[in-house]
Structure 1
Amino acid sequence: MHHEREPLPTRVDALPPLPAEYEATLDQGLDELGLTLDPSARRAIDDHARLLLAWTGAINLTAIRDPAGVARAHVVDSLTGLAPLRTRGIDRFLDLGSGGGYPAIPLAAALPAKRALLVDSVAKKAGFLAVAAEAAGLAQVVEAHSSRVEALAADGRHRERWPAITARAVGSLAELAELAFPLLAPGGILVAWKRGDIAAELGRMRRACGALGGGTVDLLPVTATGLAGHLIVVVTKTGQTDDAYPRDPSVRRRRPW
């Protein structure tokens, strides 16, 4: 007998509240990061988490299914990248490989951003992001876009127009630089989430940056509970990027940095 699958929720008012362990874990993480969220930002972040937990069985948005794990490994981890954006007064950013909306939705809520473009090549994930932005009250700010980076980089509305690009799970640093720099305005920053020993990655990225217009690198260690060994890599783009980049994916595979 065929059963119709229940439609996925698009509003949070019908969803169960987040449990106390989510709230406690997030409160601890915010305290460790020295962050205070205004009530509207906290509500947006929490509503996004509620929707993610409701959808993730149907769409592979995250391997983490427990609310406290989402609070620590997704929300707090996302907010470790807030400082370099805030200190530069950035209120517009593009997020590459947005997946379930981390880090972009917490960052958009916390900044607060005037515009955030969330890019994911998987249409189902981009569909979730649009629903999540609406449910979190961020539809005026957050735009979800299903596209490959190469198409965006060829679009004059995006090429070298963004003051900041964020990316939490997009390949190596060198690969990421080749995708991000064509979209990043000179003087803009790439904010990348990494963990562990990245010395070899940094060497390849510096080589890539030399070809992509030049960049200076800052490393910001993360000290929050459960995120040992994590760090934020901030690359400031210093010049312009040649139109030859990003290269075709097949060329990037054959000739990595």
Structure 2
Amino acid sequence: MISEDKAKEKLYYLAKDVNVELNDKQLKMFMKYYNLLIEKNKVMNLTAITDLEEVVIKHFVDSLSIAKFVDMTKEMNVIDVGSGAGFPGIPLKIAFPNINLVMLDSLGKRVNFLNDTTIRLDLTNVDAIHARAEDGARVNGMRQNFDLCVSRAVANLATLSEYCLPFVKEGGMFVCYKSGNIDVELKESNKAITTLSSEVAGIDKFVLPETDIERTLIKISVKGKIDKKYPRKSGIPSRDPIK
């Protein structure tokens, strides 16, 4: 495994490739985040990727890759749905302290880790909330209240759209991180996206640096008020996507 100094150097240069300039303090925060992640991973399943160099590329740089296609430098309210171990939310907050971040996850133990990590990293204007997306999007102050929603959660795009779009305000955007060929999935999500008063605003494809992993960021913009019946009750969006 590479040293932390080498990892910081690699992170610095790979982040620059996705339009992110990290200072020394931020690079140290990423290393501290890595150590917190690996320590907690010994007692609960947060990530299958534990090698430092792999985490730098497949978690940190991947999370930051949105900055190549979306302006992250302005103050805005961001929600990370299905945040898990904090990806992409925590890397984005470290790199862009200007954002106000909410991380949503359905598992209490993960939320405890996220809260503890943000405290240890001295991150401000961050909340980790224990809730399913279907429930969180119905809470006053969260429904259609965010400029940007991000998610690396594993679910088909139609289901993710129903989970995520109700958090996004009119004029805001949902950006979904996807791998591999997404053409069929994108076509099958058209009905869900239009039903949720939204439209695909852009599709950005790239290869994750120093890998052969094909990634796609799907940008979906919200054009109006979303019908209050969405998202449907717990479990329904994944079991019966809008078609």
* 1:153 pairs with 2:137: yes
Question: 1:216, 1:237 within 8 Å by CA — same for their partners in 2?
Answer: no
Cα separation, partners in 2 of 1:51 and 1:251, compared to 1, 3 Å: closer
- Segments of 4+ in structure 1 off by > 4 A? none
| Structure 2 unaligned residues grouped into runs of 5+ | none
Q: Which has the higher strand share?
A: 2
- The match for 2:60 is 75
- The match for 1:48 is 33
Q: Which letter maps to 2:148?
A: A
- 1:253 offset after TM fit, Å? 4.6
- 1:88 offset after TM fit, Å? 7.5
Larger radius of gyration: 1
Q: TM-score scaled to structure 1, two decimals?
A: 0.86
1:220 pairs with one of 197, 201, 204: 204
* 1:116 pairs with 2:116: no
Q: Which letter maps to 2:156?
A: S
How many residue pairs were aligned?
240
Question: 1:100, 1:125 within 8 Å by CA — same for their partners in 2?
Answer: yes
1:165 pairs with one of 143, 149, 171: 149
Cα separation, partners in 2 of 1:49 and 1:91, compared to 1, 3 Å: farther
- 1:114 offset after TM fit, Å? 3.8
- 1:80 offset after TM fit, Å? 0.4
C-alpha distance after superposition, 1:34-56 (max 9, x if no partner) = 43113333333222112111111
- The match for 1:126 is 111
Question: 1:78, 1:102 within 8 Å by CA — same for their partners in 2?
Answer: yes
2:188 pairs with one of 187, 204, 227: 204
1:247 pairs with one of 207, 232, 238: 232
- Cα distance in 2, alignment partners of residues 203 and 160 from structure 1: 25
Q: Which letter maps to 1:192?
A: C
Question: 1:90, 1:163 within 8 Å by CA — same for their partners in 2?
Answer: no
Question: 1:117, 1:143 within 8 Å by CA — same for their partners in 2?
Answer: yes
- Cα distance in 2, alignment partners of residues 118 and 220 from structure 1: 24
- Cα distance in 2, alignment partners of residues 69 and 161 from structure 1: 34
* 1:195 pairs with 2:201: no
Q: Which letter maps to 1:35?
A: V
